[in-house]
Amino acid sequence: MKLRDAPSACPSLWRCLPCPPAELRLDLVLSSAQSFRWWESSPGAWTGVLGERVWTLRQDRDRLWYTVYGEEDEHEEEERDGCSAKAAKLDGAEADGILRDYFQLDVGLSALYRTWEAADPLFCKVAKDFPGVRVLRLDPIECLFSFICTSNNHISRITAMIERLCQAFGRRLCCLNGRTFHAFPSLSALTGTDAEDRLRALGFGYRAKFVSGSARAIAEGLGAEGLSQLRTAPYAEARKVLCALPGVGAKVADCVCLLSLDKAEAVPVDTHIWHIARQRYGVAAGGKSLTPRAYQEIGDFFRRLWGPRAGWAQAVLFCADLRKSQQRASSRDQAWDSRSQDSHGNGPR
């Protein structure tokens, strides 16, 4: 059974939630560097790990379809000839709740867009081409260690690093269409004495020290539960706790605050947002580098402009800028391929 045919071909294995595109666009949200654990398994269908289970999601008009795959036991791993997981028998209400929480579907996105459009003419221009961009609610452990890997890195490499991390340290979940899926590593799995060496062998470079160091610091301090409890702490307090961890600066801390700790006012400022603030909004912050002071000024500017969910509005601009950058890169690659073919006499005649 092909994944793209699943909703109509096998409805008993699929469930759906009402969810119009204005409230969620899977193709934009799952490819916008909020989570690095989803891949487009067939046109319009996205497969990934959520809540230690493997899911496939797709949209059909005003509905969000999903199916969940069962976890293999030891005998199935040994005896299965192919690599095609079975659908899990998961309580429908529980599964619906997991997705609603993950996509924060209780937050009315269309109303927020209207508020931001009224406050910001530049946002208004972007919004019409990028509807349905909302902020995910990730597990704090997964979010923290994923974003430690993002420093001086690009999306494809980050995705590959996290995949290797899960394969090496995470529990195997199932195999689907030739691909094996693993849960994100537990905190205890990353605190072993050999964790840093193993991470370096996996190509993490200097980030290996930060991942293993932060894992030990959390395990010996507030613990995984304490990290989750930062959801109820004030934004400034949560940010301060995160910035005390090895390898966590202001941007990583803000990503974790926004994407896993319910701090909707957190505005992660990377080079994309820095350039947007300076070039499109005229924010005179920073010279040739993004200083801590400039970082704070830019975040404060957007919080004044967009209000208490400024981080959500930032996610829309970031997604738009990222998509346009990817399109420009794709155009350059196509032009290079064309020139390369012409130079070898393989182009059109």
Residues annotated as catalytic are: 251
Distances (CA, A) of 293 to 155, 175, 202, 296: 27, 47, 35, 5
Q: How far apart are CA 298 and CA 278, in angstroms?
A: 9
Tracing tokens 């890169």 back to the chain, one arrives at 329
Give the CB-side neighbour count of residue 33, counting CA atoms within 13 A: 26
Amino acid, res. 306: W
Q: How far apart are CA 272 and CA 270, in angstroms?
A: 5
List b or e across 263-300, with b for residues whose CB sees 16 or more CB atoms inside 10 angstroms.
Answer: bbbbbbbbebbbebbbeeeebebbeeebeeebbebbbe
Distances (CA, A) of 126 to 107, 144, 269: 20, 29, 18
272 contacts 322 by C-beta, under 8 angstroms: yes
Compute the chain's Rg from CA coordinates. Answer: 21
Amino acid, res. 203: G
94: alpha, beta or left? (left if phi > 0; alpha if psi -120 to 50): alpha
Task: Please tell me whether residue 108 adopts helix, strand or coil conformation.
Answer: coil
Q: What is the residue-wise DSSP string for 124-183? A: HHHHTTSTT-------HHHHHHHHHTTTT--HHHHHHHHHHHHHHHSPEEEEETTEEEEP
